[in-house]
């Protein structure tokens, strides 16, 4: 199947975001069709081990966003 080239240079940010949302809605409608890369399983194992050992911890999403905004302002 030939994929049409999108006129990205002519599209507004809003049009680009809507295009991404449309593609994501299509992909997420059938998640079992998307195979997770092999490295994901290993990365999840590593992160779970870090949380279990106390080396890493969860942060409230709202607090995380505030910290990111502070660091990028």
46 part of a folded domain: yes
Please say if the pLDDT value at position 73 is more than 90. no
Instruction: Determine the longest span between alpha carbons in the chain, in angstroms.
Output: 50
Which range marks the domain in which residue 46 is found? 36-73
Could you tell me if residue 54 is left (phi over 0), alpha (psi between -120 and 50 degrees) or otherwise beta? Answer: left
Spell out a b/e string for 29-59, using b for 16 or more CB atoms within 10 Å of the CB, else e.
eeeeeeeeeeeeeeeeeeeeeeeeeeeeeee
3 part of a folded domain: no
1 part of a folded domain: no
Q: What is the total count of domains within the chain?
A: 1
Give the pLDDT score at 29. Answer: 94
- pLDDT tens-digit readout, 7-61: 999 999 999 999 999 999 999 999 889 899 999 999 999 999 999 999 998 899 9
19 part of a folded domain: no
- pLDDT tens-digit readout, 20-35: 999 999 999 998 898 9
57 part of a folded domain: yes
């Amino acid at each position: 199947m030939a994929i049409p080239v999108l006129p990205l240079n002519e599209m507004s940010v809003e049009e680009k975001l809507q295009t991404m949302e449309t593609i994501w809605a299509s992909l997420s409608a059938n998640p079992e069709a998307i195979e997770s890369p092999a490295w994901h399983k290993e990365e999840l194992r590593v992160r779970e081990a870090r949380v279990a050992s106390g080396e890493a911890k969860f942060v409230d999403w709202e607090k995380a966003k505030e910290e990111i905004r502070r660091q990028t302002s």
